[in-house]
Amino acid sequence: MKVFTMLMICVATILPTTALLAQSNTYDLSISDTELFTGETITVTWDVNADSISRDWIGLYETNANDRAFIDWEYVTDDNGSFIFTMEKTGSYEFRYFLQNGYDLAAESDVIVVTEEDDGGEGGETGYSLITDRATYDRDDIAQVTWNTPPNTNFFLNWIGIYELGTADSEYLGYEYVDILSRTETFRLDRDGVFEFRFFTNNSFDRVAISDPITVSNNTTASCQLNVEDIANYPPPNGPIIAFGDSLTLGVGASPGEDYVSELEDRLGITIINRGVSGDSTVDALERLEEDVLSSNPSAVIVFLGGNDEIRRFYEKLSNNLADRNLKDRLDALAIEIDYDWMNVPLIPRDETFDNIETIIERIQDTGATTILVGFEAAIFDTAIAADYRRIANNTNSFFVPDIYDGVFGRSRLMSDIVHPNDVGYDIFADRIQPAVACVLPDTQS
Range name among 9-13, 30-34, 77-81, 426-430 with the lowest pLDDT average: 9-13
3-state secondary structure of 386: helix
* Portions of the chain given CATH number 2.60.40.2840: 9-115, 129-217
CA proximity to 4, closest of 320, 253, 365, 221: 253
Q: What would the pLDDT profile of 217-248 be if each residue is shown by its tens digit?
A: 765 556 788 999 999 999 999 999 999 999 99
User: What is the CATH architecture assignment of 129-217?
Assistant: Sandwich (2.60)
pTM above 0.85, yes or no: no
Dihedral (CA of 60, 66, 68, 71) sign: negative
Residues 6+ apart with CB under 8 A from 350: 309, 310, 313, 382, 385, 388
**Which ranges of 127-277 would DSSP assign to H, the alpha helix?**
247-250, 260-268
What is the residue-wise DSSP string for 199-228? EEETTTTEEEEEPPPEEEE---S----S--
- Cis peptide leading into residue 235 (ω within 30°): yes
Q: What would the pLDDT profile of 85-116 be if each residue is shown by its tens digit?
A: 888 877 778 999 999 888 889 999 988 877 76
* Portions of the chain given CATH number 3.40.50.1110: 241-444
**Which ranges of 275-338 would DSSP assign to H, the alpha helix?**
282-292, 307-317, 322-337
Between 190 and 29, name the one with better pLDDT: 29
Residues 6+ apart with CB under 8 A from 113: 34, 35, 36, 91, 92, 93
Q: Residue 437 and residue 271: Cα distance in Å, rounded?
A: 11
Residues 6+ apart with CB under 8 A from 39: 86, 87, 88, 117, 131
Count the helix, strand and coil residues of the chain and give each as a percent rounded to the nearest 5: 25, 30, 45
The alpha carbon of 82 is separated from its chain's Cα centroid by a whole number of angstroms, namely 22
Class of domain 241-444: alpha beta
CA proximity to 72, closest of 9, 12, 25, 13: 9
User: What is the CATH architecture assignment of 9-115?
Assistant: Sandwich (2.60)
